[in-house]
Amino acid sequence: GTRIIYDRKFLMECRNSPVAKTPPSDLPDIPGVTSPNVEELKIENNHVQNCDEKASAGEEEQFDMDI
C-alpha cells in the first residue's frame, strides 16, 4: 500500500478546524470518558477559582529556586 505523509504545517492548521474541536455525534455518553464526570467538573472549577485567587495575590514568585 501507499503511505500518506502529512507535513507539520498542515497538521498544525488542522487542529484549529471546527471539525477537530467537536466530538462525533454518534459517541455514547460515558461520564469521565466521552463527557466530563460531574465530580471532575466540580474539582476543575475549584482548581480554576483557587488559581485565580493565587494569581490575584500577585506577590508570589512564579518559581522558587534554591541556589
- List the beta bridge partners of residue 35: 31
Is the Cα torsion angle 22, 32, 42, 26 positive or negative in sign? positive
Q: Which residue has the cell 467538573?
A: 41
Give this prediction's pTM.
Answer: 0.34
Three cell numbers, residue 29: 455518553
pLDDT at 10: 93
User: What pLDDT, in 10s, does the model give residues 3-54?
Assistant: 999 999 999 999 999 988 887 888 888 877 777 666 655 665 665 555 555 5
For the chain, the first-to-last Cα distance in angstroms comes to 57
**pLDDT for position 46:** 63
Cβ contacts of residue 38 below 8 Å, gap of 6+? 31
Angle at 48 between CA 46 and CA 53, to 5 degrees: 95
